Structure 1
Amino acid sequence: MEGSCAGWRGHIIVCGLDDVGLRTVEQLHLAGVRIVVVEDDADARLVRVVRGWGVPVVVGSPRLVETLGEAGLPGAVAVICVLGDDLHTIEAALLTRENRPDIRIVVQLRNAAVGRALSALSISVLDVAGLSTPSLVEACLRTGTHELDLDGTRFVAAQTVADFTGPLRSRYGALAPLAVTSADGLEIEVCPGRDHVVRPGDVVTLLGTAPELEDAGLNSDTTVAASARPNWLRRKLHVAQTVLTAVDRRLAYALGALFFLLVTAMVVLRLGYREPDGTRMTLLDAGYFAVETIGTVGFGDFYFRDQPSWLRGFAIALMILGVLLATSFYALLTNTLVSIRLQEAMGRRRLTQLTGHVVVAGLGSVGVRVVERLHGAGLDVVVIEHDESCRYADQVRDLGIPVIFADATLPRTLDRVQLAEARAVAVLTSDDLVNLETGLAIRDQLGERASDVPVVLRLFDRTLAATVERNFNLGLARSTAALAAPWFVGAALGLDVIATFYVSSQLMLVGRLTVAPGGGLDGLAMQDLSARTRVVAISRAEGELEHPPRRNTRFSAGDKAYLIGPYEELLQVLRRDDRTQPLGHPLRRRVADPRPHG
């Protein structure tokens, strides 16, 4: 079968079969698109799965023009490069561009500088970490809202709990319903009509502009609530508490002794010292002299030659004791400040006073993006990382965020980061088994608070993620590959993907589609689209944004339609509009997760 690909037309070539590559192939396959996979070092199990779908796999390097030719590059409409090595991805993309200047090329790349250079060559550059971060942060913060920018207009998808029985339109009017999740969380209705009947306890996700949501009594704020933000006073108190907990007890003793000596000297000088005219030293003068003596400054303002012998002896003792105590205090203070700095540099700052923070386990490319976004939202963050040579550790420390190098599954480590006082936990290593083990350890450590603290797990396997949520009560499992794959598919097929986010366990895709002249959507009415797809706005050729469009509104060539729904449905809409796409096989509604287990 692989040998016949050279003569194919209208297909998509996917280079790479790990992580996002497998998910991309799966989604293209479900959408009925013809695909050829190119991989020179793929897992044999994954190759068997893909070939079981009827997708040919060309074994060879995508960095060779012969291999790309065998995959049918001359007749392909797009190439997706999702190789594990950035350098190999760059080579494959540049080689493809040289041989097919007109073809769509989509690449996965983590290096921003190189990505900008490739973008200048009309190559779409996507970063999995950046694409999946918003959904992971939303799961941590439980905001229940998703902000979307549609043609310059701010829309917000907000969740609310129904408190009535009746149709959606009776309470929410013209707001576009995206999903209704039953009170028990077992059933979800995607893109229901406004006549859909809800019951108390159902979770309703609605889309509208901020004013529309506020008119309906819904919160449109997608940022962290002000009460959740640490204010400046709390930050100052936290800094003071951190310093106090790090202070050596001997420093307090030295400071106390200095204060006692100062007070004693002021009293003695006030009562015993006499000016030449017989007047006593004022209290201010006594304090001034005591401080300059202890500080070894000695400006010669006061003379003791004519004072009683006992007072001259006291002055000598004051100088000696003052020097000894001041020197000890300076040494202990320096040691404390250096210790605090070293503890921060090593990620071991004492966190005993920290509350309402987010614990992030795993500081890879995804973890660092999540940490930066949480920090930007004004939240305290603590990072646990197993690898002391982590490349992102210094980047995070520069933000003032402590990094603890330890095993996140150990109770001692979790106690150290004040897990009992945390508001959320994100487990984001690149190993599914480690994430699952860490999540279970965190659940056990949280005890009764397990239901109140969201624990977000990064898992590759979509079926495993759903199973973990149902059976282990671990909170929210998110597949970064599943979140990112629709962006690659959409970019390859000509759909501008704007966002991906979860509604309960359903992954939703937000995309923009330009209606092709003479295509399947040209002249079609809204009501004739799939019931599981919601057209939330249409930008007409004249520049006018129509929101919300009516059911009998018809598409016209050149319109930009903004759609929301499951990615399978949106890809079917895209293929319906594109007359150049081969028909392929029909969309399959339900499939098992393709990743082999074992």
Structure 2
Amino acid sequence: MVVCGIGAVGLRTVEQLHAAGVETVVVDAGERPGAVAGHLLELWGVRRVPGRPRDALVEAGIEQAAAVVVVPDDDLVATECALLARRLAPEVRLVVRVANPAVGRALAGVTGPNSVLDVAALAAPSVVEACLGRRPHPVELAGRTFVVATIDATRPGILRDLFGDLAPLAVTGAGQEICPGRDHEVAVGDRVTLIGTPEQFAGHPVDVTASRPVPQVRRGARTAGAERAARLAEEGGRTSLLLVLRTLLAEAERPLKVTLCVLLSVFAISVFVLRAGYVKTDGSHMTWVDAVYFTVETIGTVGYGDFSFAEQQTWLRVYAIGMMFLGVVLAAVLFSLLTQLLVSSGIERSVGRRRIGSMRGHVLVVGLGAVGIGVLEGLLAAGARPLVLERDGTNRHLARARELGVPVVTGDATDAAVLASVNLDEAVAVAVMTSDDLVNIEAGLAVRDQLGERWDSVPVVLRVFDRDLSEAVEEGFGFRYVRSTAALAAPWFVGAALGLDVLGTFYVEHTPFMIGKLAVGAALDGLAMRELSARTRVVALAHRDGTLDYPPRRDTRFTEGDEAYVVGPYQELLTLLRPRIMEP
């Protein structure tokens, strides 16, 4: 296997290939590994080939490679390596990481269907699920909707008696048991993660009726969040005026609001006074329309001579003097403050965000990169209300967030005052998604301090690249949801390189699981389910005759031409399937 690029995703990909026993060669692709990465490559015995991409690919033996995984952090380098790899080895299996959608679609036309993957799109669903709390994870297998859900055991017993045909993936209590048998005993309060159809979950205390299948992530496909963004854009012309008015009101500072309230009060009082006290030359009183009209004339100092206080009673003329003086002052102050608001940088921010003091039940997303945009689309598709807090006011993704209709606030997430301004006390979840581990940890700790007693009930998801650091942060600081984009995306690249069609990844507590589809070849023909690893599970078996066996029994045997849908911790799954996937 040839891996081009040795960034975070590349290193994690090499690590998993090495652990699965696959011979791997690394091509630098313009990215020199750091001291830690270089040490790990040496420790694993992985050969590293430096040099220009073309020469390095040839030296790495691309013509004899089973597959090439192209995962540099730079899209230009990735595109160059992918095109060279396809030219040098037209038949080699190729998997490419590209973040730019347009480049990805064009490149897929050269490298082949399902060969281009986007790390942000792969990692975002796990973050969204963590933000929304423990909830059913739907996935489509062989045209049927299956659901992964976690249920708390309400009585002791064995899994077979408690959950019937639902396939157990993990039991978490005093410890964690991965893919236990159906005769495994559970105690009251143990969390049992199971997979099955919505019909199989009927009668159990979990609502899976609203679960929708998670589509396979393929570059060029339009996500649900993007579809909603398109609808928002279509409706933008009809709602823009209302949005601006709401924005101006939300952005207005206290002096402006007070001035406006006083002016409206003077206006209302004057209408009533004129309606009741003004007497026309014919002895009649003003109508309501006349009273409103004359009040606007007087405050605006644009009288046309059609009404006059000259012949009115003394008290009304004195009142008119005060109304004119107060009205002119209030109008001048109002226009001054309104002009200041319109020309300030605050309005530029607020028109895109409908600022936030009144927001309730929102999800705060800190850091707006490629992963952050993916998280926004996922949250919108799930019906959540996201809010972005971004430090860099020139971030190129801000326009996209505003196009999605997501409020955006510019500020430092480590500042308590900024966190208060985004109404953190009313947020239902926080996702810290910047590209700097230290900033993420610092922001997460600031959020923890501000949440106070709500810390245990509000999911706070941290993006941390380094695996050891993420484990230390979870254990040392008490964070429950620490996610690594590299760890979430690498199984997709490894699985695709090995020929496994990865359908999804998700977490059970702190253990990442993978669901994949495997075409049964000659090497698996006749193998019984009970001969597989105890830490993996075959969820369904699609036979050549079109029938679907779910869940297959332990004595069920694979037949060449079948399609097996397997789930388990991705390292176990890749180690188990690697010798059979790599068959000629």
Q: What TM-score do the two structures reach when normalised by structure 2? A: 0.85
Q: Which amino acid aligns with 1:548?
A: P
Q: Which amino acid aligns with 1:102?
A: E
Q: Which amino acid aligns with 1:273?
A: K
Give the match for residue 262 of structure 1. Answer: 271
Structure 1 stretch displaced more, 21-30 or 463-472: 463-472
**Structure 1 residues 268 and 356, CA, compared in 2 at 3 Å: closer, same or farther?**
same
Q: Secondary structure at the match of 1:331?
A: helix
**Structure 1 residues 472 and 343, CA, compared in 2 at 3 Å: closer, same or farther?**
same
Q: Any idea what the Cα deviations from partners look like across 1:402-428, whole Å, max 9, x if unmatched?
A: 333332222222222222222111111
Structure 1 stretch displaced more, 373-382 or 249-258: 373-382
Compute the displacement of 1:437 (Å). Answer: 2.0
1:200 lines up with 2:188 in the alignment:
yes
Q: Any idea what the Cα deviations from partners look like across 1:303-335, whole Å, max 9, x if unmatched?
A: 879977979979997996798479548736854
Compute the displacement of 1:466 (Å). Answer: 1.9
Q: Secondary structure at the match of 1:444?
A: helix
Give the match for residue 160 of structure 1. Answer: 151
Structure 2 residue corresponding to 1:145, chosen from 124, 136, 140: 136
- Does structure 2 conserve the Cα–Cα contact (< 8 Å) formed by 1:266 and 1:290? no
- Does structure 1 conserve the Cα–Cα contact (< 8 Å) formed by 2:5 and 2:73? yes
**Structure 1 residues 285 and 555, CA, compared in 2 at 3 Å: closer, same or farther?**
closer
Structure 1 stretch displaced more, 459-468 or 392-401: 392-401
1:44-55 matches, within 5 Å, as 44-55=35-46
Q: Which amino acid aligns with 2:342?
A: V
Q: Any idea what the Cα deviations from partners look like across 1:262-321, whole Å, max 9, x if unmatched?
A: 22211123xx2253xxx6346446536636755789899x78799779799799979967
1: CA distance between counterparts of 2:511 and 2:309? 90
**Structure 1 residues 481 and 273, CA, compared in 2 at 3 Å: closer, same or farther?**
same
Give the match for residue 242 of structure 1. Answer: 250
Q: Secondary structure at the match of 2:201?
A: helix
Structure 1 residue corresponding to 2:335, chosen from 323, 331, 334: 331
Give the match for residue 4 of structure 1. Answer: none
Structure 2 residue corresponding to 1:449, chosen from 444, 454, 478: 454
Q: What TM-score do the two structures reach when normalised by structure 1? A: 0.83
Give the match for residue 587 of structure 1. Answer: none
Structure 2 residue corresponding to 1:497, chosen from 495, 498, 502: 502
**Structure 1 residues 289 and 473, CA, compared in 2 at 3 Å: closer, same or farther?**
closer
1:127 lines up with 2:118 in the alignment:
yes
- Mark the runs of 5 or more structure 1 residues left unpaired by the alignment: 1-11, 224-234, 582-598
Give the match for residue 439 of structure 2. Answer: 434
1: CA distance between counterparts of 2:417 and 2:47? 50
Compute the displacement of 1:130 (Å). Answer: 0.6
Structure 2 residue corresponding to 1:510, chosen from 509, 515, 521: 515
1:562 lines up with 2:551 in the alignment:
no
Compute the displacement of 1:371 (Å). Answer: 2.2
**Structure 1 residues 329 and 48, CA, compared in 2 at 3 Å: closer, same or farther?**
closer
- Does structure 2 conserve the Cα–Cα contact (< 8 Å) formed by 1:80 and 1:106? yes
Q: Secondary structure at the match of 2:202?
A: helix
- Does structure 2 conserve the Cα–Cα contact (< 8 Å) formed by 1:135 and 1:500? yes
1:394-413 matches, within 5 Å, as 394-413=399-418
1:487 lines up with 2:496 in the alignment:
no
1:70 lines up with 2:75 in the alignment:
no
Structure having the higher Rg = 1
- Does structure 2 conserve the Cα–Cα contact (< 8 Å) formed by 1:179 and 1:191? yes
Structure 2 residue corresponding to 1:423, chosen from 428, 434, 454: 428
2: CA distance between counterparts of 1:334 and 1:118? 50
Compute the displacement of 1:147 (Å). Answer: 1.1
2: CA distance between counterparts of 1:448 and 1:118? 50
- Does structure 1 conserve the Cα–Cα contact (< 8 Å) formed by 2:128 and 2:375? yes
Give the match for residue 280 of structure 2. Answer: 273
1: CA distance between counterparts of 2:310 and 2:459? 76
**Structure 1 residues 317 and 573, CA, compared in 2 at 3 Å: closer, same or farther?**
same
Structure 1 residue corresponding to 2:536, chosen from 513, 533, 536: 533
**Structure 1 residues 298 and 406, CA, compared in 2 at 3 Å: closer, same or farther?**
closer
- Does structure 2 conserve the Cα–Cα contact (< 8 Å) formed by 1:254 and 1:328? no
1:354 lines up with 2:359 in the alignment:
yes
Give the match for residue 542 of structure 1. Answer: 545
**Structure 1 residues 286 and 97, CA, compared in 2 at 3 Å: closer, same or farther?**
closer
**What percent identity do the matched residue pairs reach?**
45
1: CA distance between counterparts of 2:384 and 2:247? 15
Structure 1 stretch displaced more, 555-564 or 405-414: 405-414
Structure 2 residue corresponding to 1:117, chosen from 101, 106, 112: 106
- Does structure 2 conserve the Cα–Cα contact (< 8 Å) formed by 1:265 and 1:318? no
- Mark the runs of 5 or more structure 2 residues left unpaired by the alignment: 213-242
Q: Which amino acid aligns with 2:266?
A: A
1: CA distance between counterparts of 2:316 and 2:552? 96
Number of aligned residues:
546
Give the match for residue 207 of structure 2. Answer: 219
Give the match for residue 527 of structure 2. Answer: 524
Q: Secondary structure at the match of 1:501?
A: strand
Give the match for residue 367 of structure 1. Answer: 372
Q: Which amino acid aligns with 1:202?
A: D
2: CA distance between counterparts of 1:169 and 1:299? 89
**Structure 1 residues 308 and 58, CA, compared in 2 at 3 Å: closer, same or farther?**
closer
Give the match for residue 232 of structure 1. Answer: none
Q: Which amino acid aligns with 2:415?
A: L
Q: Which amino acid aligns with 2:168?
A: P
- Does structure 1 conserve the Cα–Cα contact (< 8 Å) formed by 2:248 and 2:347? no
Structure 1 stretch displaced more, 305-314 or 29-38: 305-314
Give the match for residue 72 of structure 2. Answer: 83
2: CA distance between counterparts of 1:237 and 1:378? 24
**Structure 1 residues 326 and 512, CA, compared in 2 at 3 Å: closer, same or farther?**
same
Compute the displacement of 1:514 (Å). Answer: 0.4
1:309-320 matches, within 5 Å, as none
Give the match for residue 29 of structure 1. Answer: 18
Q: Which amino acid aligns with 2:274?
A: A
Q: Secondary structure at the match of 1:355?
A: coil
Q: Secondary structure at the match of 1:215?
A: coil
Structure 1 stretch displaced more, 468-477 or 72-81: 468-477
2: CA distance between counterparts of 1:239 and 1:308? 43
2: CA distance between counterparts of 1:312 and 1:219? 69
